[in-house]
Amino acid sequence: MVSTVYAITLVCIALIAAVFYFVIANSKKAEADYPSITKKWYGVRGKWFLFLITLGLVITYFSLSPFPIPDQKKDYPANDHQVVKVGAYQWYWTMTPDTVEAGKPVAFLVTGEDVNHGFGIYDENLKLVGQTQAMPGYTNKLVHVFDKPGKYKILCLEYCGLAHHAMITELTVK
């Protein structure tokens, strides 16, 4: 079986090489079509490139500026933030505590206890409001400020095994 696969692979590679050889052997140097138009549009090409780069930067700015992401490296005073320790297991979450206050920074200290997991916080409309990785042997810090009270869903964002779809828990924001 393996030798048949090797033989088929070699034949296909030889056919592709033959097609490349045929195209290269039968091609000739192209003559310039419409040289005056070509020269004019080569000058426009650089300006068009700068326009597209500028447009891309503007779109990036306006699409990313609505994300009010707190400083992840900042050390908040002990009374100014809340700490939630999160453990990710196959196929459940542990959170201590599971209730936080709205309007104050919450530092999630997230670690995976067995395999890699994705830690995603979703609001009541299932809009992703924060995410980080949960990796074994490493603690990631995610700082988020909840604007409004409610029930937030914690979902795993990385396939972690058979019951991945059931890896859901809830965070209460008061």
- Residue 6: per-residue pLDDT: 76
pLDDT along the chain (174 residues), means of 10: 78 92 81 72 84 93 72 65 88 88 87 90 89 87 88 90 87 90
Question: DSSP letters along 54-72, please?
Answer: HHHHHHHHHHHTT--PPPS
Give pLDDT, residue 2.
Answer: 65
Q: Which residues pair with 174 in a beta bridge?
A: none
Q: What is the pTM of this model?
A: 0.58
Residue 101's pLDDT is 86
Q: How many other CB atoms are found less than 10 A from the CB of residue 129?
A: 15
pLDDT recorded at residue 53:
94
Contact 170, 99 (CB under 8 A): no
The structural domains of the chain, with segments of one domain joined by +, span 33-66, 82-173
Q: Which CATH class is domain 82-173?
A: mainly beta
Query: Tell me, what's the pLDDT at 38?
Result: 72
Residue 94 · residue 71 · CB < 8 Å: no
pLDDT value for 155: 92
Residue-level pLDDT at 79: 67
Q: Report the amino acid identity of residue 72.
A: Q
Residue given tokens 């920074």 in the structure block = 105
CA 166 to chain centre: 22
